[in-house]
Amino acid sequence: MALWNDPDLWDQLCSGEACPICLRSEPLDVVATLEASWVTMQEAAPIRGYVCLVSRTHAVELHDLPPSAAAGFMRDACKVSEAIAVATQAVKINYEIHGNSIPHLHMHFFPRYRGDRFEGLPIDPKLTVQPIYSPGEFEEIRDALVLALKTKTPLGG
Ligand SMILES: [Zn+2]
């Protein structure tokens, strides 16, 4: 059942009052803090190199962000996209924004690979078989991503 079917809980999640991210002051598994967002990664991921970018401003929809925060969030998204490309050699990156369970703006980044198990389809995290990383591989990709975030400038600038 979708959380929005409980109007009181949904209002509290949307206002930030019961938002699990805001209550902790930041999301879990932060690997870098950018201008307008936190970069998060976890070893139990749907696909190798998966990143979730979480807005540092509580907002439900993109259009709820003040214009400067929205521009900052998109700048961060471009920076993360480029860093994932460097760290994973993905053939394509997929981007998704849902917020149906935690209505605090966040963007999923799914690197795609030739022959990945979802080829021709979107990623379905429910069909992921763990572990997706070989021993040490998560740390290697995470460190390469963090290094790329520190050294690369977005949009080829
Ligand atoms: Zn929040």
In this model, does residue 132 exceed pLDDT 80? yes
The pLDDT, as a whole number, for residue 68 is 96
Distance 56 CA to ligand 1 centre (A): 8
Supply the pTM of this predicted model: 0.94
Tokens coding 15: 């206002």
What is the Å distance from ligand 1's center to 99 Cα?
11
Ligand 1 centroid to Cα of residue 129, in Å, is 29
DSSP-derived letter for residue 134 is: P
Check pLDDT > 60 for residue 85.
yes
**Mean pLDDT of the region 135-140:** 98
C-alpha 45 to ligand 1 mean position (Å): 22
Question: What are the CA-CA distances from residue 24 to residues 7, 18, 20, 104, 112 (Å)?
Answer: 23, 10, 6, 13, 31
pLDDT for the residue numbered 157: 46
Chain segment 32-79, per-residue pLDDT in tens:
999 999 999 999 999 999 999 999 999 999 999 999 999 999 999 999
Question: Is residue 155 over pLDDT 80?
Answer: no
Both tokens of residue 155? 């949009």
Provide the β-strand partners of residue 95. 109
Region 87-98: what's the mean pLDDT? 97
Alpha-carbon distance 115 to 27, whole Å? 32
Beta strands in the chain (DSSP E): 30-33, 37-40, 51-55, 92-96, 106-112
- How many whole angstroms from 156 Cα to the centroid of ligand 1? 31
Q: Could you count the other beta carbons within 10 Å of the beta carbon of residue 21?
A: 20
- pLDDT at position 154, please? 54
- Write out the H or E segment, with its range, that includes residue 18: none
Residue 48 near residue 88 (C-beta atoms within 8 A): yes
Confidence of residue 30 (pLDDT cuts 50, 70, 90): very high
